[in-house]
Structure formats: C-alpha cells, structure tokens
Amino acid sequence: MPIRTLCGVLLFGAAASISAMPAHASSPKPLARIVADDGVSLKIDHGTLSLQLVRDNVLHVHFQPGDRHTPPTLVMSKHAPRNAQHPVKIQHSGQHITLRAAGLRVDVDTLRETLSVRRPGATRPLLSQTQLDTLAKGRIDLGFSANAPLYGIGGFDAFEKAGADLLRHGRQVAKAGHQGHSGAPLVWSTDGFAVLVDSKGARFDLDDHRMRIDGLSRPDADYYLIAGDPKAIFAAVADLSGHAPLFPKWAMGFTNSQWGIDQKELLDIVHTYRAKHIPIDNFTLDFDWKAWGEDHYGEFRWNPKKFPDGPSGKLAKELAAEGMQLTGIMKPRIHVNTVEGRFATAHHLWVPGEKVSNDYFSHKPVKDVDFDLPLTRQWFGKLAMKYSFDEGIVGWWNDEADETGDDTQFLNMQRSLYDAQRAHTDLRVWSINRNFWLGSQRYAYGLWSGDIETGFASMAGQRQRMLASIDTGAMLWGMDTGGFKGHPSNQNYARWMQFAAFVPIFRVHGVSGEKRQPWHYGARAERAASAAIRLRYRLLPYIYAYAWQYHAHGVGLVRPLTFDWPHDPKVRNDVGAWMFGDSLLVSPVVKQNQTKKHIYLPAGTWTDWFTGTRYAGGRTITLNTDSTDWRDIPLFIRQGAIIPTQPVMDYVGQHPVKTVSVDVFPAAHATHFDYYDDDGRTYAYEHGVYYLQRLSTRRDANGVHFRIDAPSGRYTPDLRHYLVKIHGTDAQTITGVSRRYADLDALRNADGEGWATGHDRYGPVTWVRLDARHARAITLH
C-alpha cells in the first residue's frame, strides 16, 4: 500500500533546506511531512515511520505502531547523537523524497514504499528496503550488492569450534552468550555499510544479497543504517552505543592472575618479578582473596586467614609501593543463609525462577542476584566499595554472570561496579568479564575468552575469537594466556606469551594450583616470555595513544586487516595476522616446532621489526622461524609509521619519562600519529586535563618533512624532548635545527636540540632531538 501523508512542511534554521516544487508539478498522494530534526515522518499502514539523519553518515529509522513507543535498550547510549554534524538538505518532488548529508544520501519513494541509502555521488545503493510494510510485522528486510562480505553479530564461545571464519552468513543470533562470547545487534560490511538494531537480541538471516532481521525485543522497530569504511562505521557505532572510558594506564601492561594463593606466595611472586626486572603492574586474585561462604559479606571482603594484612589495607599499600595493583574476582552469587542473602530475599533481588544450589567452592546454598534491577546494582556496588575497593581491590574480574542466559546480566553487573566506583572515587575503573553485549563498553568493560584449554590448537583458536569479538565492538579483549585448563609445554607458554603481548589485555591465568610466572617454564621460555613483556612495556606510549583513540573514535589498539584494507579479498577472512595500531602488523607463531611461517602482507612496504628486512606488500612471504629458542615474533612496520617508545621499566610510572623516542619510517604520502598522555589514573581527562599532540611526516623530492603540532589539553607531562629517529635518511642538513653532533652518544650527552646521523638495523638513520612543548617543522635534506 502507498505511504499516506502527514500534511505540511516544517523547517528549522540552517539545519535543513528544502527545494521548492514547481508550481505545475502534480504530486501524487500522499505527500510527506518534513520534520524538524533533519528527517521526514511518514504515515504507513499500522503506524508511523520516522527517517532522521542523526550523523553525517547515519540514518535513524524508527517505526512506531500506533502510539506505541518503548525506550531505547541498553545497546544505546543516552548521549547518542540526534542531529547530523553538518546541514542536511531535504528535497521532495511528487512521490520522491531525498535527504542529503555529508556522508549519506537517502531516497524514499512514498508510493512504492521503498527506501535506499547510498554514498553521495554514488549510483549504486549500499542498502535498499523495498518492503517497508514488513516493519509492522516486526521484520526488517534489506538488500545489498551481491556477495558483500558481512561481519559482526557474534563471536565464539570458549568451547565452540571457531575454525578460521570471520565472515557471517546464514542464520545468526545476536546474543551475549556464554564463556567468552561477544554479541551485538550489528552487521557490517567492507562494502561500506552497517545496520545497528536497537534491540535486546535479534535474529539475522543473511544470504548473498539480502538480510532479514527479526526476533526484536520491542514492537517499534528501531534501527540505524550506517555508511562508511570500517573505521567510520565503528566511530558511528561508538557515538550511538557509547564511548569507552579510558582504562588506567597500568592496565596497558602485564597482569598475572592466579587461583590458589595466599599472602606469602603473593609477596614472593611479586618480589621475584621485581628482582628479575620482568615488568608487571597487576596481580588478579581468584576465590582465595575472599571470605567466600562466610556470613556478613564474605562475598565482598578479604579472607583474613590467607591474607592477614588484607582487611586493614596494609597489603595493598605495601604492594602499591612496589608498583603493583591488586584486583580481584567477583561473582553474581550470594550465599542465601547470610545477612546479605536475607536482604536479597526480602527485597526480591534474586534472578526470577532460579533455584537454590550448592556453590562448587563453598558447598553452601547460593543464588544469583538479578543485576537488571536498579536496587541490586546500587546495593551490590556499595558493598563492593565498602568491603573490597576501600581495602585495596582496585579492579574487577567479574565471573559467571553468563549463566542466567540474560544478555544484559554481565553488562549490568559491571555497570553496578562502574557506577559505584565513579560515585566513590575519581580513580579509573578496570574490569574483565566473560561475555560482551554492545553497550557494555560504556562501563570500562573488558572481555576475556573464558575457561580455555591449553595447547597449541587452543592458542591458535584465540586469534579468531579475538578478531570476531572486535568485529562486534568488543575492542578490549584478552585471554587466559597459557590456557586455563591444563599445563602448557614450555614452548607453548613462550609462544603464547608472545601472542598475548600483542592483544589489548595482556594477562596470564590457569586452573587452581597452576603457576603462570615465566620462571616456571625453563630458561628458554623465560627469556622469550620476558622479552615479549619488555617489548610491550617499551611500546607503552604507542599503546596508550591507541587507548585514547578507542575512547575518542571507537577503534581500538587491535583491529582485523579488513579495517585498513577493506577491498583486499585476501584479508576478508584472515585470522593469521592483525594490526597493532596503525603502524604494526603482527602474526604470532601458533604451531609447535614451526620452522617456516607464511604471512600475507597487504599493500604497502613493510619492514621486519627485528631484522630490518624490507618486503613489498600485496603478497605472501615465507619467514624462517626459530623452533629452538622461540626468540622471534613475526612483527612488521608499515611504511609511514610513527612509533613512540620509552625505556622499559618494572611498572608503569616507575620513573618520569622526559624523552620519548619516536621511530619514523617516512612514506611518499603524509602520515601522522596523535601522541597522548594524561595522569593515567583519574578521570581528569574528561575535563580537558590531557596532553594531545600530532606528529606528522612525509617524504618528497625536497627531502623528508617532520612536524610537531602545538599540544592541546591542560595536562603537563614530564616529557621535554622527542628523540626522533628518521629511518632511511642520512641527512646532510636539516632546515629548522642547526646544531649537528658527531654521533648519537654525543647528541644524548648534550643539552637542547640537535641532530646526528648513523646506521642501525634498518639502515641509515638521522636522529633529531626536538623540544616537545612547541610546534616545530623540520625538513631533512
């Protein structure tokens, strides 16, 4: 049936403009009404259809049956944009309506009841909707170009056979799932489009040119059509579903988790890390830290027998003085026959319909509390602050909230702790959780992949689990390095640690009694693992800058190759390698005794991090790998890279960093890196107390250009100089810096700005020391 009119035209200010219809034009019935918020409202059978441009590349489609309207689900941020960034042009002529924004064009035919979305100037639609009346039946039908690669919707749980498949096809269910699963009512394509549905769960039927979405949790179909490359898509998804707050800076480092430990062993382990100068920032405690099963809030407070200095806070203060944070496990279960259990009963806080069972650890009766209830969240969060945070537990390892089958139980459990900690202190929140539902990221939410097995096959399977999770928006991902179940071989441990050094959350863990410290796996494994940890700490300025990028722009440190090469068919399903920031490609060794590794390098020029060997991209290379001492990590630098590093320390912030080294590999096209810093601990950055500075480079016929922009923000770091290492250049003169030194040592021993030339493993290099506090532009000739 044709779309019926909502009479009249309504325009507001510069936000929208409309072309007048010719006086002689005959417009078919019905006409559309142009509404104030950059869109149109159309009357169709059984309801009203609203089309609104809420971002330059995002169309919000909302069908309301009759007067029925339900509030947004937890997928959506309360700060989601309501208007495009730039003016929207709206035209109508007869039955046709067109909305144009900077990144999107929408065409509506009010008689045929069709809708299409395309990029401005494009002839081919990205998405088309030809049966708008199906919205009244709770179904969204969309067409797209044949064989467009599709991603998102869901990842893999810990025990599901993952294969090597990142592509999505057939019947897919968006759910939070169990044990490491990630989910989002989001499907996207490297062809340049995405669909985000505001629903608690949804079913997607995908074929080679159409998708059908049903199983929505609300009668008013509410969804967003997004245009752009993968990074633009996830920037829009972050705006819509919420931006992630920054983790504390110490979370960029290394975490040791252990089940089966007491205070003496904990102190011995920490002292050994420090004596061996193996960097570490966080120790995460399992059940052992709690008075689990005891009355009077045993689920929240220290076990004084195993940790006698825990309840007083003395233990946490002693470890903090050594640069070690203490984080602990939290469970959604409460013991029924306790003060807290009786409160939950009296206030109806239990998960509906769940029966009492005996806990596997305490062997006492327990039930899960329902975190979807506001009172549960307030009550649980306050207890955690009083008995856990105030006594030294500064981060949250949330476990087993995936067992109720509720998509938002885990999200709301961490929401409880996040909201409570934000109200209690200005110290940043950190957490890891065992599943993910889009929207969780708003609550300082990390995901780990569940109770995985040890061994090379399990390790290899973590690659697709990580990349598939990132494809759903779960950008802060980690795993039980070494495997939770079983004892890894020395080689498996060493290779797994090298893998884990290049994932967002670097953490080891094992079943009760398993030790995951490097010195338990023999001298060769200890050397390899320790070197990987130290490399991670050397890269901390680079890593922290991408933590900021994720917070600000929605794309994290690790991303599949499709994010940078969306039109390369060879990376569509590639789990063997990924980008670590914009400048580094990593492809860890995941096979036992491997002597040769085949790696596909996308278009561009690549340099081996360790050897300096250069490779032309767009082809597969064969790399010899060290099957004896496991010392190598296949790691490649992208031409155009700008990579800041710092001296390796035992923990984040051990010493002030006054000079940051910056490795620069200039390309013929301009590249940049946004250096970022702040206090690393509080939320002052939300109020402008940060240091953000763009570094740029380009090589042309006149030489190599390098530029430092003036910093923005009100934070003053310890940083005073950049020691810029411009590779591939043996400068004769530098415009902008006059003083030349004989060599690098002389430059380092001098004060102020200057430069020197020499060679390193990458070939000729020019070192330039520049004042970091002011804008500078130099050219190397």
509 and 641 in contact (C-beta within 8 Å)? Answer: no
Residue in 191, 451, 568, 674 annotated catalytic: 451
CA angle 676, 680, 681 (to 5 degrees): 155
Query: What Cα–Cα distance (Å) separates residue 667 from each residue in 296, 456, 637, 701?
Result: 63, 38, 12, 12
559 and 470 in contact (C-beta within 8 Å)? Answer: yes
Residue in 56, 157, 239, 399 annotated catalytic: 399
Residue in 56, 402, 663, 679 annotated catalytic: 402
d(CA 647, CA 313): 32
Tokens 């961490």 appear where? 414
**Cα of 137 vs its chain's centroid, Å:** 35
Query: What Cα–Cα distance (Å) separates residue 741 from each residue in 87, 469, 705?
Result: 54, 49, 20
Query: What Cα–Cα distance (Å) separates residue 114 from each residue in 1, 3, 128, 646?
Result: 11, 10, 7, 56
The tokens describing 420, both together, are 């409570």
Could you give the angle at which helices 339-346 and 374-387 cross, rounded to 10 degrees?
A: 160
List the end-to-end C-alpha distance of the chain, in Å, as a whole number: 70
CA angle 739, 743, 745 (to 5 degrees): 105
Candidates 378, 382, 386; CA nearest to 412 is 378
DSSP secondary structure code for residue 8 in this structure: -
User: Which residues are CB-neighbours of 626 under 8 A, at least 6 positions away?
Assistant: 632
d(CA 767, CA 137): 66
CA angle 172, 565, 460 (to 5 degrees): 60
DSSP secondary structure code for residue 219 in this structure: S
Secondary structure string (H, E, C) spanning 549-604 = HHHHHCCCCEECHHHCCCCCHHHCCCCCCEEECCCEEECCCCCCCCCEEEEEECCC
413 and 332 in contact (C-beta within 8 Å)? Answer: yes
- 451 annotated active-site: yes
If you write DSSP's letter for every residue of 624-660 in order, what string do you get? E--TTT-----EEEETT-EEEE----SSTTSS---EE
**φ, ψ of residue 305 in degrees (nearest 5):** -75, -45
DSSP secondary structure code for residue 743 in this structure: S
- 402 annotated active-site: yes
Candidates 139, 165, 143; CA nearest to 153 is 165
How many CB atoms neighbour CB 702 within 10 A? 11
Could you give the angle at which helices 456-471 and 490-500 cross, rounded to 10 degrees?
A: 20
CA angle 566, 569, 572 (to 5 degrees): 65
d(CA 185, CA 195): 8
Q: What amino acid positions are annotated as catalytic residues?
A: 399, 402, 451
